[in-house]
Amino acid sequence: MILFYMPGACSLSTHISLLETGEQFRLVKVNHKTLKTEHGENFLSISPDGRIPVLKLPTDDVITDCVGTLHYIADHFWQSGVSPAPDSAERARLNAFLTRIEHELHAQFSLLQQKRTTPDLRDAVITRLSDEFEKYEKLFSDGRHYLMGRQFSVADAYLLVAINWAGMIGINTFRWPHIGDFGDRMRGRTSVLAALRAEGLLVD
């Protein structure tokens, strides 16, 4: 498999999840300005709309978008522990978390990247994001270590990316103690440290 990524983008969640599976894959970095790969290839020939991440399979099939790639990993490598068994109630809960993160967090951050973002829109988005993080704070208050309980899942990698982005726009997620603990727990995982180093986001 080949994972096309941009450092710190939502593709980080796919990167972390692949590392958790133990499966073999290769990384290819994409420049977000030129949309050229590190090998000089036109990324639009792989992903016509320029969307990240892209997971290219050994069959040459291409899976795009964060949720698409995470669902693929959960479907095909669930026995590694990154997802509950397919067709189970727990797997349906995982799917719900992925959808919620995509729509209530990821989509809000995407609004801030638009050229026509106004100060009022920015304030409204930050308020909506803060309200959503409050819900996760309440969720983690029951003592769970990860979204699904005591077991890591691909959804945790996705939530970590959102937490990282929050800090970049001035939302201090450590004001929510349980979310802060979750972030620290995630950043202590071998897969997360390895992904951050590989993407040049962690300086030892």
pLDDT at 132: 97
Query: How many CB atoms neighbour CB 36 within 10 A?
Result: 14
**47-51, 57-61, 109-113, 132-136 — which is least confidently predicted?**
109-113
pLDDT at 202: 82
The boundaries of every CATH 1.20.1050.10 domain in the chain are 89-189
The pTM (predicted TM-score) of the whole model is: 0.95
Confidence of residue 204 (pLDDT cuts 50, 70, 90): low
Reference 36, options 28, 22, 55, 200; nearest CA is 28
Query: Over the stretch 63-117, which tens digit does the pLDDT of each residue have?
Result: 999 999 999 999 999 999 999 999 999 999 999 999 999 999 999 999 888 777 8
Query: Over the stretch 111-147, which tens digit does the pLDDT of each residue have?
Result: 888 777 888 989 999 999 999 999 999 999 999 999 9
The boundaries of every CATH 3.40.30.10 domain in the chain are 2-80+191-198
Fold classified for 2-80+191-198: Glutaredoxin (3.40.30)
Query: How many CB atoms neighbour CB 195 within 10 A?
Result: 27
Mean pLDDT of 5-18: 97
Fold classified for 89-189: Glutathione S-transferase Yfyf (Class Pi); Chain A, domain 2 (1.20.1050)
Query: Over the stretch 142-166, which tens digit does the pLDDT of each residue have?
Result: 999 999 999 999 999 999 999 999 9
Q: What is the largest CA-CA distance in the chain?
A: 49
Reference 2, options 24, 22, 17, 19; nearest CA is 24
